[in-house]
Structure 1
Amino acid sequence: MARPPRWQATLDASIKEACLAVRLYNDAAESRSFEGFVVHMHLAWLYVLHAEFLRDGIDFRYWDKHRKRRLIKVDGEPKRWGLPPVHLTPDL
């Protein structure tokens, strides 16, 4: 049996995050269901985009401009492209 592609694990994580988001949203007993939905759906979209970048061979990490061949790291992990911030302010 062939190994799954490298991006498959990221895509599977995205599906799990989206299912968790929907489950939180539909749970009436959960006190902060909408906030949980937004956070986990945001992560699901981020993982989908990262899976597409991996599939297409796009390097989505930040490189240090001053030192060539050096990645910018956050907490020991390479910094990666993200989604723009979500603002949950009501329209007045």
Structure 2
Amino acid sequence: MKEMHILELSKLPPEEKNETNLLQWMRFLGGKTRKDFEKMAKKNSELEEAYDVLDKLSADEKKRLEYETTCHLSSKMVVSKYIGARDIF
């Protein structure tokens, strides 16, 4: 039996002072503006590192396109494995 957890970013509780790493990551992934990311990066060294990588990727259009292509293909592979599809591409 496979188990899947779905975490809905839109249903996050209001921000609290001492949040778990999971909640901090969810807020980071749901960030909408550069200010959101910068604010969250100041609270957590892992998020700061992720923000730095995100900032570098978004500054270089070629790297950004390569990253988006990789993510798109990776997500298709995960879905096809989950549903047992062979010819999803």
Q: TM-score range by the shorter chain?
A: 0.3 to 0.5
TM-score (norm 2): 0.35
Normalized per residue, which structure has more helix?
2
Give the TM-score, by structure 1 length: 0.34
